[in-house]
Amino acid sequence: MIELKGIHKAFGKNQVLKGVDIKVEKGDVVVIIGPSGSGKTTLLRCLNFLEKADDGELTIGETHVDLKHSSKQDILKVRRQTAMVFQSYNLFNNKTAIGNVMEGLVTGRKVPKKEAEEISKKVLDKVGLSDKYDFYPCHLSGGQQQRVGIARALALNPEVILFDEPTSALDPELVGDVLGVMKKVAEEGITMIVVTHEMSFAYDIASKVIFMEGGVIVEQGTPKDIFTNAKEERTKKFLKRIVPEWSYTI
């Protein structure tokens, strides 16, 4: 279980998060939607300390951290229970696909190399890249790179995988590949927190949808609640602008 309480974060004078509470149960797929600049990505990045929150509490598994007074050990402990898939993939350019997946296991968690290699091959197979083990990122397409990114996260077997707009940098044809893999991951019961603009994905996969704006959570609920039955005026307005793109395809 993951719980965030009262997360505050400002960049200079710009208050990006103004007290956000989120509770995620094991196996949940939480999708965070909202307009740009609403603090979705920052919230996700506060969760694994890529941004240091100004205030708030985080509970992840057995670990409880006061974000304001976190120690190096706390940060490492949290990071080793989470994994992240980035918008711009951020694969290690100096490592092959399998090297990317193995890195966190071998260097970070001291898993024996042989074992790490086995795990890595398994997850790469799962994301459909069994023929690309030894390819460097520069020789992979965007969709393939992002699938390596997902494999890298999966291999760590974390409490939660954080997805930061994983399909935003992909061309439309490849989006399907990545979403397919994410769906597969979700079906395995892995806890996921996903920031995305793919509304149909949110509708299909999410167990909970959170709508954020201006650094606060405006509304949250099941996909059905949010997409067809939103209570807040602001949510309706946001969805109206985006949803027609997909509503007729379902």
First to last CA, the chain: 32
27-35, 117-125, 132-140, 235-243 -> range binding another protein (CB under 8 A): 132-140
Of 3 and 103, the one with the shorter C-beta distance to another protein is 103
Residue 3: how many CB atoms within 10 A of its CB? Answer: 14
Q: Is 112 in the site for another protein (CB under 8 A)?
A: no
d(CA 200, CA 59): 30
Binding mask 34-73 for another protein (x = CB under 8 A): --------------xxx-----------------------
1-9, 18-26, 82-90, 191-199 -> range binding another protein (CB under 8 A): 82-90
Q: Is 91 in the site for another protein (CB under 8 A)?
A: yes
Torsion angle (degrees, nearest 10) of CA 144, 150, 153, 156: -80
Which DSSP letter does residue 69 get? G
Instruction: Work out which of 27, 108, 176, 189 binds another protein, going by CB under 8 A.
Output: 108
d(CA 207, CA 91): 29
Residue 156, CB-side half-sphere exposure with 13 Å CA sphere: 26
User: Which residues are at the interface with another protein (CB under 8 A)?
Assistant: 48-50, 76, 79-80, 82-84, 86, 88, 90-96, 103-104, 107-109, 136, 138-139, 152-153, 156
